[in-house]
Amino acid sequence: MSETRRLQVLRAIVEDYVHTREPVGSKALVDRHNLEVSPATIRNDMALLEEEGLIVAPHTSAGRIPTDRGYRTFVDKITAVRPLSSAERRAMDTMLEVADDHDAMLDQTVRLLAMLTNQVAVLQHPQHSQAKIRHIEVVSMTPQKALAVVILSSGKVEQRMVTLSDGLDEESLHRIGQRLAEELYNRSASATPLPLDHLIAQVEPSLQPAMAVIANSVEAVLEAGRVDRIIMAGTANLAKSDRDFGPSIGPILEALEEQVVLLRLLTEMQEDPRGLSVRIGRETSHDSLAEAAVVAAEYGADAGDGAKLGVVGPTRMDYGSTMSAVRAMARYLSRILSEG
């Protein structure tokens, strides 16, 4: 079985199952897709895909449905995310133009994304996202204790005591603070995590262990001062997917309502080279979202702001269209915020 045909068969199974909700058989694949091989060959291909854990039979004598691993392989092979249609872009322009303030614009954004994807749209909204890092100092307190002080553009001063395994003199601590101040100047206070590896590399080897501890403390200070909330729309769309979730829809609704799980997940998600983050099923690392998928992209007036816009839906979602809508909306919102 060639790699190309393997992916063609997997893609066909995913696409058919997404649109029909029914297990997919070999005859249906031959009838609906131009695979240019016999049903017997397709059956062999499907058997190999099943051995690899990419598809599974939900019950005896049924067709096959994708597993979480199969969805992941499918998503990873979507090398080009299609642009939005002209109609979708017009809807985006129209809805966002009527927003008369910042909060209204964010509300309109999630409503439009929910409408475009037929999923639950969520937006991570850092409450002090406008504050910038203006200065950092590291002050010696005792031979093995130092105070990391972060001054923000809002006038707020954050500080945290740091314990060092090896004592450092005032001059060494000053150099560490100076490097942090230079590297992080004007960075959004909500843009965490910090580039720790890069920061550690900015000082000589003898100071790198201390820099790691102090930079981690600065990151903890910023995270503690960041108060996020979730703006959400389209929760009713989950009702349309109750067959996908079954009895597990309750925990998903609770996770959306409590927001803590979702905020933690969005913060943890890292973008791939396409500018997207995708977690499928157990990849979310949260039991309440084990039957769900989350697609997100960063947005913000400044690169690295770290806030995310995305959707939550069943693992059986139209990943291509959803990824397209999420990325386009995040970029559109970032452009508006930067112009504002």
Burial class (CB in 10 A: 0-12, 13-18, 19+), 135: middle
Please give the pLDDT value at position 1.
Answer: 52
Q: What are the C-alpha distances in Å from 37 to residues 29, 177, 243?
A: 10, 65, 33
Please give the pLDDT value at position 214.
Answer: 95
Please give the pLDDT value at position 246.
Answer: 64
Please give the pLDDT value at position 216.
Answer: 93
Pick the CATH number of 133-225 from 3.30.390, 1.10.3470, 3.40.50, 3.30.70: 3.30.390
Does domain 86-127+227-339 fall into CATH 3.60.15.10? Answer: no
Please give the pLDDT value at position 242.
Answer: 64
Q: What are the C-alpha distances in Å from 239 to residues 173, 178, 244, 296, 310?
A: 56, 54, 10, 21, 19
Please give the pLDDT value at position 318.
Answer: 92
Say which residues have a Cβ less than 8 Å from residue 242's Cβ, sequence separation at least 6.
Answer: 249
pTM above 0.85, yes or no: no
Q: What are the C-alpha distances in Å from 223 to residues 30, 190, 237, 323?
A: 53, 7, 32, 28
Rounded CA-CA distance 187/151 in Å is 12
Domain ranges of the chain: 3-76, 86-127+227-339, 133-225
Per-residue tens of pLDDT for the chain, all 340 residues: 567 888 889 999 999 999 988 999 888 888 888 777 888 888 889 999 999 999 999 877 678 999 999 999 999 987 667 777 787 777 777 766 666 677 788 888 999 999 999 999 999 887 655 678 999 999 999 888 999 999 988 778 888 999 998 878 899 999 999 999 999 999 888 777 889 999 999 999 999 999 999 999 999 888 776 667 889 999 888 877 667 776 667 888 888 887 888 888 888 888 888 889 999 999 998 888 888 999 999 987 665 556 899 999 999 999 999 999 999 999 888 887 776 5
Rounded CA-CA distance 149/153 in Å is 13
Say which residues have a Cβ less than 8 Å from residue 64's Cβ, sequence separation at least 6.
Answer: 13, 23, 24, 25, 46, 49, 50, 55, 56, 57
One-letter identity of residue 261: V
Which of 308, 322, 113 has the alpha carbon at shortest distance from 229?
Answer: 308
Pick the CATH number of 3-76 from 1.20.120.80, 3.90.850.10, 1.10.10.10, 3.30.200.20: 1.10.10.10
Please give the pLDDT value at position 227.
Answer: 67
- Indicate the DSSP class of residue 200: H
Please give the pLDDT value at position 98.
Answer: 63
